[in-house]
Amino acid sequence: MSDVIDLPPDDDSPLVDPPLVDDLYPDQDADEFTLVFIPQDQVSRNQKEVVVVPRESEDGKRIELRLTQLARILGAPITRLFHAGGGDFGFYLSDGREVHLSDESGSGQRSQVAYEQLQDLGMIAQIAFRQSQLLKNQTR
């Protein structure tokens, strides 16, 4: 089981275990996703890692699916998501709004579904990163 990140929460939000997406933004021009994430200690001792995932790859399709699910919850496509501290996440939406999961305090069901999608995104980022590391080691 992974360890909890030891950060003081800004509110009553639960802390989230790594792997944790810290920042995700789709690059429409390059047709890829850039993910900054906090890895599990077994994967990397660095505080954060970065992985770039082509949109048309299997991992890219998984990311797209998770972002679509989150967009349904939030009411508009996501142009960027970020970890906002503790158990809170923020989203910039295509309609110009910025929303936070902490804003969803009245809807526990919606927040739970959003957290599930975010956990999956963290795992996708970590797996893609680990695969890229393994491929680099094979070519050496």
Classify residue 15: in a domain, yes or no. Answer: no
Classify residue 38: in a domain, yes or no. Answer: yes
Q: At residue 19, what is the residue type? A: P
Classify residue 14: in a domain, yes or no. Answer: no
Give 51-110 pLDDT, tens digit per residue.
999 999 999 999 999 999 999 999 999 999 999 998 899 999 999 999 999 886 556 788
Task: Catalogue the long-range contacts made by 15-18 (C-beta closer than 8 Å, 24 or more residues apart).
Answer: 15/86, 15/87, 16/87, 16/115, 16/118, 16/119, 16/122, 18/122, 18/126
Classify residue 1: in a domain, yes or no. Answer: no
**What is the tally of structural domains in the chain?**
1
Classify residue 9: in a domain, yes or no. Answer: no
Across 5-30, average pLDDT: 73
Give 22-53 pLDDT, tens digit per residue.
999 999 889 999 999 999 999 999 999 999 99
Residue of 139, 120, 128 lying closest to 44 (CA atoms): 128
Per-residue exposure over 75-101, b if at least 16 CB sit within 10 Å of its own CB, e if not: eeebeebbbbbbbbbbbbbeeeeebbb
Classify residue 7: in a domain, yes or no. Answer: no
- Examine the pLDDT at 7 and tell me if it is beyond 80: no
Boundaries of domain holding 118: 20-138
Tell me which of 61 and 4 has the higher pLDDT: 61
**pLDDT value for 139:** 82
Classify residue 115: in a domain, yes or no. Answer: yes
Distance of alpha carbon 101 from alpha carbon 111, whole angstroms: 6
- pTM recorded for the entire structure: 0.85
Classify residue 2: in a domain, yes or no. Answer: no
